[in-house]
């Protein structure tokens, strides 16, 4: 088969012939059809994710079609259209057994990060890591169910966001526009913050009640004005990069007493000083999260199957153009996700 292979950190991926994967008895062979491209892929290429071995095929936001199944597989069959849950889990460790497989203590790794992912034409995937999607959902959109939807879904669940709560969402990039739709489905009142007018416009189309352009307006003052001086119930940070420390401080400043800060965006080495007195005297909770469970993916798939959440695709590109697509992503966050198709 063919694959786009990361052979050296900081260098373009190479399109070349690679060995076909062989599914084990409890695995299915999935023909990779679509892969969402995200900032994590850039971190992988840059060598910032130290667990990544080389050579590696990226592709942790992957959807495809089952073409072959191992002898012990019974929940999927050839022809099924599936989302791949990237993180492989042991199923037996303490965290897996209490329903937190996203925190698996014996993980073999994540497909597309420590194990070859959907940048190869075929992927051998454990049966437990497959979630079916309905016929009418294009696989390009389905590829966003795994990481782009399920990861914010997991974080929002951890923060127990509820009906009518005010949520300030910082960062309306690929992840942010999907988190926004999850929050509006929960009945939250979302205030979107970004520095790009097009992103703010898209957020309003997708249900943001208010938006703030942080390039021209102070988010803290604006949110306090919008909430009668009380502040927001929840602040969700998905900005990433150098903006993380100042945005986290703004989040703490604009939360109401009892507010929750959810951290999803990060950049290695970007630290942030916390005044514990501010946390204590405002009863603030900080929730940080990455990854998701199979259940999160299943529920995200249900939201897409029923049309309640729309995958937002910035543009589709052939897999062979992955290097150009990464440059495009690096140059400035597109509106929605770039999806690479085999
Ligand atoms: Zn991702
Ligand atoms: Zn485990």
Which numbered ligand comes closest to the C-alpha of 292?
1
Query: What is the four-CA torsion angle of 328, 334, 337, 340, rounded to 10 degrees?
Result: -20
**Shared domain check, 204 and 162:** yes
Residue 294 covered by a domain:
no
Which numbered ligand comes closest to the C-alpha of 337?
1
Question: Which residue did the predictor score with more confidence, 154 or 333?
Answer: 154
**Shared domain check, 281 and 161:** yes
Q: Is the pLDDT of residue 303 over 80?
A: yes
Q: In this predicted model, what pLDDT tens digit does every residue of 22-71 receive, in sequence order?
A: 999 999 999 999 999 999 999 999 999 999 999 999 999 999 999 999 99
Pair of tokens at residue 286: 């900080």
In our burial notation (b when 16+ CB lie closer than 10 A, e otherwise), range 258-271 reads: ebbbbbbbbeeeee
Predicted pLDDT at 281: 97
Predicted pLDDT at 100: 94
For ligand 2, the distance from its centroid to the CA atom of residue 105, given in whole angstroms, is: 5
* C-beta atoms surrounding 238 within 10 Å: 28
Average pLDDT over residues 264-276: 91
Residue 102 covered by a domain:
yes
Runs of H (alpha helix) within 105-149: 139-144
Tell me the whole-structure pTM to 2 decimals: 0.94
Predicted pLDDT at 332: 81
For ligand 2, the distance from its centroid to the CA atom of residue 342, given in whole angstroms, is: 31
Q: Is the pLDDT of residue 333 over 80?
A: no
* C-beta atoms surrounding 213 within 10 Å: 16
Predicted pLDDT at 241: 85
User: Count H helices, E strands: the chain?
Assistant: 11, 17
Q: In this predicted model, what pLDDT tens digit does every residue of 232-245 receive, in sequence order?
A: 999 999 998 889 99
Average pLDDT over residues 271-299: 96
Residue 103 covered by a domain:
yes
CATH number reported for the structural domain that contains residue 257 in this entry: 3.40.50.720
Pair of tokens at residue 263: 């951290």
Q: Is the pLDDT of residue 322 over 90?
A: yes
Measured distance CA(11)–CA(45) in Å, rounded: 7
Predicted pLDDT at 209: 98
Q: Is the pLDDT of residue 338 over 80?
A: yes
Q: Kindly state the DSSP code that residue 268 receives in the 8-state scheme.
A: T
Per cent of the chain over pLDDT 70 is: 100
**Shared domain check, 157 and 102:** no
For ligand 2, the distance from its centroid to the CA atom of residue 24, given in whole angstroms, is: 19
Q: Kindly state the DSSP code that residue 241 receives in the 8-state scheme.
A: G
**Shared domain check, 54 and 25:** yes
Give burial (CB, 10 Å; 0-12/13-18/19+) of 68.
Answer: middle
Which numbered ligand comes closest to the C-alpha of 41?
1
Ligand 2 (ion): which residues have CB within 5 A? Answer: 89-90, 93, 96, 104, 106
CATH number reported for the structural domain that contains residue 9 in this entry: 3.90.180.10
For ligand 2, the distance from its centroid to the CA atom of residue 94, given in whole angstroms, is: 7
Average pLDDT over residues 125-138: 97
**Shared domain check, 23 and 116:** yes
Residue 303 covered by a domain:
no
pLDDT bin (cut points 50, 70, 90) of residue 269 is confident
Q: Is the pLDDT of residue 336 over 90?
A: yes
Per cent of the chain over pLDDT 90 is: 95
**Shared domain check, 122 and 9:** yes
Query: Which residues does 218 contact at the CB level (< 8 Å), separation at least 6?
Result: none
Residue 92 covered by a domain:
yes
Residue 293 covered by a domain:
no
Measured distance CA(65)–CA(247) in Å, rounded: 40
Instruction: Give me the chain's average pLDDT, please.
Output: 96
For ligand 1, the distance from its centroid to the CA atom of residue 229, given in whole angstroms, is: 36
**Shared domain check, 118 and 217:** no
For ligand 2, the distance from its centroid to the CA atom of residue 33, given in whole angstroms, is: 28
Measured distance CA(340)–CA(36) in Å, rounded: 6
Q: Kindly state the DSSP code that residue 319 receives in the 8-state scheme.
A: G
Average pLDDT over residues 280-297: 96
Q: Kindly state the DSSP code that residue 209 receives in the 8-state scheme.
A: S
Predicted pLDDT at 248: 97
Query: Which residues does 79 contact at the CB level (< 8 Å), separation at least 6?
Result: 65, 66
207 HSE (CA, 13 A, CB side) = 21
Domain of residue 176 covers 151-288
Which numbered ligand comes closest to the C-alpha of 90?
2
Query: Which residues does 205 contact at the CB level (< 8 Å), separation at least 6?
Result: none
**Shared domain check, 127 and 183:** no
Q: In this predicted model, what pLDDT tens digit does every residue of 170-211 receive, in sequence order?
A: 999 999 999 999 999 999 999 999 999 999 999 999 999 999
Predicted pLDDT at 267: 87
In our burial notation (b when 16+ CB lie closer than 10 A, e otherwise), range 139-175 reads: bbbbbbbbbbbbbbbbbbbebebeeebbbbbbbbbbb
For ligand 1, the distance from its centroid to the CA atom of residue 62, given in whole angstroms, is: 10
Give how many domains the chain has, as a whole number. Answer: 2
Pair of tokens at residue 44: 């992988």
Give burial (CB, 10 Å; 0-12/13-18/19+) of 23.
Answer: buried
Helix, strand and coil percent figures for the chain, each rounded to 5? 30, 25, 40
**Shared domain check, 265 and 160:** yes
Q: Is the pLDDT of residue 102 over 80?
A: yes
Residue 296 covered by a domain:
no
Average pLDDT over residues 95-113: 95
């Amino acid at each position: 088969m063919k694959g786009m292979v990361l052979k050296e950190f900081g260098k373009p991926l190479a399109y070349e012939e690679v060995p076909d994967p062989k599914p084990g008895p409890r695995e299915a062979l999935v023909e990779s059809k679509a892969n969402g491209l995200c900032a994590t892929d850039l971190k992988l290429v840059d060598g910032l994710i130290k667990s990544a071995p080389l050579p590696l095929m990226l592709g942790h936001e992957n959807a495809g079609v089952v073409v072959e199944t191992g002898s012990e597989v019974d929940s999927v069959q050839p022809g099924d259209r599936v989302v791949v849950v990237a993180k492989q889990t042991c199923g037996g460790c303490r965290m897996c057994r209490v329903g937190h497989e996203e925190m698996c203590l014996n993980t073999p790794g994540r497909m597309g990060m420590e194990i070859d992912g959907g940048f190869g034409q075929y992927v051998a995937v454990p049966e437990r890591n497959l979630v079916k999607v309905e016929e009418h959902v294009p696989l390009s959109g389905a590829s966003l169910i795994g990481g782009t939807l399920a990861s914010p879904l997991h974080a929002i669940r951890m923060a127990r966001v509820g009906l009518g709560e005010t949520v300030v969402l910082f960062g309306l990039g690929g992840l942010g526009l999907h988190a926004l739709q999850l929050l509006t489905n929960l009945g939250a009142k979302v205030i979107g913050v970004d520095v790009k007018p097009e992103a703010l416009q898209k957020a309003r189309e997708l249900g943001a009640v208010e938006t703030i352009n942080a390039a021209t307006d102070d988010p803290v003052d604006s949110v306090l004005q919008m909430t009668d001086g009380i502040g927001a119930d929840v602040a969700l940070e998905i900005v990433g990069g150098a903006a993380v420390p100042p945005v986290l401080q703004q989040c703490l400043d604009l939360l109401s007493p009892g507010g929750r800060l959810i951290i999803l965006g990060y950049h290695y080495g970007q630290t942030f000083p916390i005044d514990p007195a501010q946390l204590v005297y405002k009863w603030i909770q900080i929730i940080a999260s990455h990854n998701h469970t199979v259940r999160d993916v299943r529920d995200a798939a249900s939201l897409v199957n029923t049309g309640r959440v729309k995958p937002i695709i910035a543009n589709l590109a052939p897999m062979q153009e992955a290097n150009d697509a990464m440059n495009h992503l690096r140059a400035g966050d597109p509106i929605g996700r770039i999806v690479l198709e085999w």
